[in-house]
Amino acid sequence: MERGVNLPIAAGEVTATTRKVVRPARPWWQYIEPYLYLLPALITVLIWVYRPLAQTLELSFYQWNLIPTSPRTWVGLENYIRVFSLPEMQRALVNTLIYMVGILPLSVILPMTIAILTDNVRGRARNLYRALIFTPMIMAPVVISTIWRWILHPTNGVVNNTLDNLFNLEERIRFFTDGNLAILSIIFITGWQIIGFSTLIFSAALANINKEYLEAAAIDGAGRWQAVRYIILPLLSPTILFMSMLTILLASQWTFAHINVLTQGGPLSATTNIYYLLWNYGFQSFAVGWSSAAAMVFFVGFGLIALVTLRLSNRLAFYDN
């Protein structure tokens, strides 16, 4: 089989077993040709993703303050033990969960409902709505933070001004400095960016559903709700799982920029999350060991979540084959 290894895929060849085995010997450079095409991308990924990942693992066993001339001290597993007894870390973990759970309705439930309710809209109107609803997705996170800070500003923002005109507020709403409200504001902003994208994903998945199922169900006397419950939802299950996984895995990334720009984790760590904490440990407190240890734990943790979700989607999701 040695010779069969690098054969180009040709027409009519479906799998490796259908390949012709007898071929004239080919020059050596044909064996390395495929690798040459991969090389530029591979080098970049190895140097800037996997090598630093391995180095982070290494740094997680040392104490170091990011200053090149200062020594690194081996501390074994101490960073791992320390990191999880820190009160900020517990707060950050709880907040990370709040972000995930808070964003899910805006990235899965609401978009799915809207997509199902509006599936009947067709033609030019549909395209116009699509274009408008999608716009937040292409905006930069920093721009979005800046706009919302202006709109939600306690004394000059349009939301507070309008509410004050209508209801004569006793106290202006401090969306980003009130300890209870700040995290909700960041969840809202993050959801605002993602909701249109998610709605379009669900719409596209709905458009792929074979409408004959619905017609057959209608002939059998199924009501609207029954059609949704027994036909549409099962057929949407791969999309539901996909968007949920995306939210769980990326909620901390999506919120990072907003946290950094709007609250810096405050007031009193009310809005911090794990990634923001890692950033702070690394570049504000220069606790490289803590940051690296926590990063490794979350890398493995999120990897496991992804693995489980992919397994689940193979088992639970209903595919219309």
Site for another protein in 37-76 (CB under 8 A): 37-38, 40-42, 44-45, 47-53, 55-56, 59, 66, 68
> Which of 77, 132, 169, 268 is in the footprint of another protein by CB under 8 A?
132
Enumerate residues 6+ apart whose C-beta is below 8 A from 23. Answer: 3, 4, 7
Structure-block tokens of residue 136: 């937040």
Structure-block tokens of residue 223: 């009501």
Binding flag, residue 16, another protein (CB under 8 A): yes
Closer by beta carbon to another protein, 121 or else 268: 121
Binding flag, residue 321, another protein (CB under 8 A): no
Q: Is 57 helix (H, G, I), strand (E, B) or coil?
A: helix
Binding flag, residue 201, another protein (CB under 8 A): yes
Enumerate residues 6+ apart whose C-beta is below 8 A from 214. Answer: 227, 231, 232
Binding flag, residue 296, another protein (CB under 8 A): yes
Site stretch for another protein (CB under 8 A), options 78-86, 90-98, 149-157, 174-182: 149-157
Tell me the sheet residues that pair with 62. 74
Question: Rounded to whole angstroms, what are the CA distances from 53 to 9, 35, 45, 60, 280?
Answer: 34, 23, 11, 11, 18
Calpha distance 114→190 (Å, rounded): 18
Site stretch for another protein (CB under 8 A), options 84-92, 112-120, 167-175, 179-187: 112-120
Q: How many residues bind another protein (CB under 8 A)?
A: 118
Binding flag, residue 27, another protein (CB under 8 A): no
Binding flag, residue 310, another protein (CB under 8 A): no
What are phi and psi for residue 63, nearest 5 degrees?
-105, 130
> Which of 112, 270, 275, 309 is in the footprint of another protein by CB under 8 A?
275
Site stretch for another protein (CB under 8 A), options 20-28, 35-43, 71-79, 172-180: 35-43
Binding flag, residue 316, another protein (CB under 8 A): no
> Which of 79, 107, 239, 269 is in the footprint of another protein by CB under 8 A?
239
Binding flag, residue 135, another protein (CB under 8 A): yes
Enumerate residues 6+ apart whose C-beta is below 8 A from 87. Answer: none
**Among 303, 246, 249, residue whose Cα is nearest residue 111:** 246
